[in-house]
Structure 1
Amino acid sequence: MRIFALLLCLCWRVESLSASFVVRNPTTFKLPQVPRGGQLSELQDSEEVIDLDAVEEKTQESSVPTLKSSSPMGILSPLVLAVQAAGSSYSSALSSAPILTKSITAGVTFFLSDYTAQRIEKPKEKTEKDKKISAEVSKHDWTRTLVSCAVGLFYFGPAAHMWYEWIFSILPGTSLVSTLQKAALGQMLFGPSFTCIFFATSLMQSGQFSIGNWIQKIKKDLPGAWLSGSAFWPMVDLISYSLVPIKFIPVFINLMSFIWTIYLSMVANRSASTKK
């Protein structure tokens, strides 16, 4: 009997001690157990109720990186979208009106090329205010620039379109042999003929055109221009014929001709400028 009484006292003591502790699960938060109904209000006042779902959702949101508008990609994204839209529109224009699109592209390219060439040349005229003081005034020849633009618009654009259509019809494929053959034909036929026409238009623009002057200009400047082109255009042709789709080859050539036409414009107008 004494042993039984001791066990009852021990159980009562353990129960009274457990009521004073808050039992928590090691992985989740729980409200403390309430052994007595009268203690509920006291525990609600002393313990804060935690919404576990809200805490977990907030933790997940903070762990996911967000793209801020101030980041480099956020700033450049409108520009990237604009470039993609412009490229898509240009590709559609090449499919619907290839000759017109390539001609306008060539006209703009030649306009910018001659403008750049004149900025490099910086032609100057001396205007005397008195016998001792002179000022150098830069003067841009817009007629020459517009003539160069017309050459690109009405000749180079349509001619380049027909040339590449023809050369791929007789030399299909993009093998190394076929590419070298196309590049050789370009250097022997298309390049020299275009250079001669460019010389003629420059003489017309300067008011010095005649058959004799044109032939003399060709004899004087064509060999040097052809040699310079031989160091430039074969590499361009190798890239365009082997890597660029046929539809976009004239566009790529126009971009490369921006550099070439700067040089050609300076050569074509060199003698005309000295005679003026």
Structure 2
Amino acid sequence: MVNSLRRRCGWLLRPVVAHIDITTKASVSAKIRWRSYFSFGSSPMRFRVRESKIPCPTILETIRYRFFSSVSASKSRIGFVGWYMRKLDTHPFITKSFTSSLIYAASDLTSQMITMPSPGSVDLIRTTRMTAYGLLILGPSQHLWFNFMSTISPTRDLLSTFKKMFLGQAVYGPIITSVFFSYNASLQGESGREIAARLNRDLLPTMLNGLLYWPVCDFLTYKFVPVHLQPLINSSFQYVWTIYLTYMASLKAVDIN
């Protein structure tokens, strides 16, 4: 009779018994959360414990989750950040393009301020060229590239991150840099031969110098930043890099005579 009562009513008593989390006193990297579930055994007066291991998130993953959760939560708040995040959701292509154009304009102005002689003035035509480049070329290409990377390799483990970094350095970087030099040189009135000579002179040194900067930027972007924010972070890194690029692009044309 007791066994029959236990079989019929035991399932009602299981939710009453709390499950508790017990964290082992190991190192942070090896920390395991033990979850114990109490249920009745063969006798109504005894119980057994079932334990399951649930890996705890690492410190970096916890920081990343909390940071970007707070950013996502700000979508519903009033202010520029909330407005920008809503625009990323509703109009991602246009928002990323305009963001890139503004960052490129700011970086070009900064570059001119650094290299400008004392009695000089800002070249607004050059700034307009850079703004148009960010709006029409860089912003759209970033949107397409980062979405493509997330499609072919959606995870953020180290292998996927290094794979994306390699593709960025081997494919996207050389293409977008070549387009930048060609675009800027053509608007300055250089001929096809002059553009080819400029690329032959400046492209390889620029890419080699980028190996000291972009792998770190790409690792941080691909590893810790959500896909919809990656163009923004990449454009922020581009601010520093574009100061160097605009300086290289402003150099005199190669003498091919």
- Bigger proportion of residues as strand: 2
Query: Is residue 94–residue 101 contact of structure 1 (8 Å, CA) maintained in 2?
Result: yes
Question: Aligned equivalents of 2:189 and 2:123: distance in 1?
Answer: 14
Report how far residue 140 of structure 1 moved. 1.8
Cross-structure match for 1:212: 193
Cross-structure match for 2:144: 162
Cross-structure match for 2:127: 145
Question: Aligned equivalents of 2:111 and 2:250: distance in 1?
Answer: 10
Cross-structure match for 2:214: 233
Cross-structure match for 1:99: 93
Cross-structure match for 2:228: 247
Query: Is residue 88–residue 96 contact of structure 2 (8 Å, CA) maintained in 1?
Result: yes
Question: Aligned equivalents of 2:112 and 2:187: distance in 1?
Answer: 15
Secondary structure of the structure 1 residue equivalent to 2:122 = coil
Q: TM-score, normalised by structure 2?
A: 0.67
Question: Aligned equivalents of 2:237 and 2:164: distance in 1?
Answer: 17
Identify the match of residue 260 of structure 1 among 241, 244, 251. 241
Report how far residue 163 of structure 1 moved. 0.4
Report how far residue 137 of structure 1 moved. 2.5
Question: Aligned equivalents of 2:78 and 2:217: distance in 1?
Answer: 25
Q: Percent identity?
A: 31
Question: Aligned equivalents of 2:222 and 2:155: distance in 1?
Answer: 9
Question: Aligned equivalents of 2:86 and 2:134: distance in 1?
Answer: 21
Structure 1 residues 114 and 140: CA distance shift in structure 2, 3 A: same
Dislocated runs of 4+, deviation >4 Å = none
Identify the match of residue 223 of structure 1 among 204, 209, 214. 204
Question: Aligned equivalents of 2:185 and 2:218: distance in 1?
Answer: 29
Report how far residue 98 of structure 1 moved. 0.2
Report how far residue 204 of structure 1 moved. 2.2
Report how far residue 173 of structure 1 moved. 0.4
Identify the match of residue 108 of structure 1 among 102, 113, 121. 102
- Could you say which structure has the larger radius of gyration? 1
Query: Is residue 197–residue 254 contact of structure 2 (8 Å, CA) maintained in 1?
Result: no
Cross-structure match for 1:189: 171
Q: Alignment RMSD, CA only? A: 2.0
- What number of residue pairs does the alignment pair up? 180
Report how far residue 117 of structure 1 moved. 0.6
Report how far residue 273 of structure 1 moved. 11
Amino acid at match of 2:178: C
Query: Is residue 144–residue 205 contact of structure 1 (8 Å, CA) maintained in 2?
Result: no
Question: Aligned equivalents of 2:90 and 2:193: distance in 1?
Answer: 43
Q: TM-score, normalised by structure 1?
A: 0.62
Amino acid at match of 2:93: I
Secondary structure of the structure 2 residue equivalent to 1:138 = coil
Cross-structure match for 2:115: 121
Report how far residue 229 of structure 1 moved. 1.1
Amino acid at match of 1:121: T
Query: Is residue 143–residue 205 contact of structure 1 (8 Å, CA) maintained in 2?
Result: no
Report how far residue 201 of structure 1 moved. 2.0
